[in-house]
Structure 1
């Protein structure tokens, strides 16, 4: 059985485009994988506002999932100190393994879901690492679309 999951970032896009992409993809729930989801810099994607907008505009649920967020130290290394992506990816993968996210979460949570982070693309974003890790641990059952 295949589990359809998407990923999306909210930066470098308008609210109109963001909500339209989610709707077009048939997303049922947005799973927030950000470490800091209440920052004023998040604009329309600030946690409480986003939950309201998702429900009101698209009829979607909002689920914060801090288990899928990097630690403060990892984010500081990569963002503030401009650390190497490969080192970040290795250390974040080790963190997911340590947290045993594949056992803590069930594929049903991700079925029809979209993982949310701030990065405009999934190329160098931890949301891609999350779905790749889970897909490996769950035997390739995830069908992933990066919106």
Structure 2
């Protein structure tokens, strides 16, 4: 079986639904790629999410440096995906983002990881870009859950 890097968004799902998808896919660690790991959605703020995942045997790593800067998040909310991508591309040139990407690659090589962010559809989310960057170096297949 090919090695896989999964991605998942929780926009239209409950925490139990997200955990069930992760477990069904065989994910062993979630890499949270939100710049701000807080959420108005019940259970998706960092502390509660970490505890809920760990109770189900799934690890949790928050890599804030792989999150979209505020102007990029604002562009995405307004449907300006190309603008978000340009902002995120510039952000990924920073040493902090490169360090985060290196750590994400290491984690993904060692365990079945899932990149987590808010957007339900990966096509409009920066996690698609992060997944592509990881795939290019590791050869992992990307699967959106």
For normalisation by structure 2, the TM-score amounts to: 0.85
In the other structure, the counterpart of 2:70 is 72
* CA distance in 2 between partners of 1:29 and 1:62 (Å): 6
| Contact 2:33/2:64 (8 A) holds in 1 | yes
Cα distance, 1:117–1:103 mapped onto 2, change above 3 Å: closer
Unaligned 5+ segments in structure 1 are none
* CA distance in 2 between partners of 1:73 and 1:143 (Å): 30
| Secondary structure, counterpart of 1:44 in structure 2 | coil
1:86 aligns with 2:82: yes
* CA distance in 2 between partners of 1:48 and 1:104 (Å): 24
In the other structure, the counterpart of 1:20 is 20
* CA distance in 2 between partners of 1:103 and 1:24 (Å): 26
Deviates more, 1:42-51 or 1:106-115: 106-115
Q: Per-residue displacement from partner, 1:29-68 (whole Å, max 9, x unpaired)?
A: 11111122123x0311111111111111x20111100111
| Secondary structure, counterpart of 1:107 in structure 2 | helix
In the other structure, the counterpart of 1:50 is 49
Cα distance, 1:49–1:106 mapped onto 2, change above 3 Å: closer
* CA distance in 1 between partners of 2:71 and 2:104 (Å): 27
Aligned length: 140
| Secondary structure, counterpart of 1:34 in structure 2 | coil
| Contact 2:69/2:87 (8 A) holds in 1 | no
Cα distance, 1:86–1:22 mapped onto 2, change above 3 Å: same
The 5-angstrom pairing of residues 1-147 of structure 1 reads: 3-39=3-39, 41-56=40-55, 58-79=56-77, 82=78, 84-98=80-94, 99-101=97-99, 104-105=102-103, 107-110=105-108, 111-136=111-136, 138=137, 141-147=139-145
| Contact 1:32/1:65 (8 A) holds in 2 | yes
| Contact 2:104/2:134 (8 A) holds in 1 | no
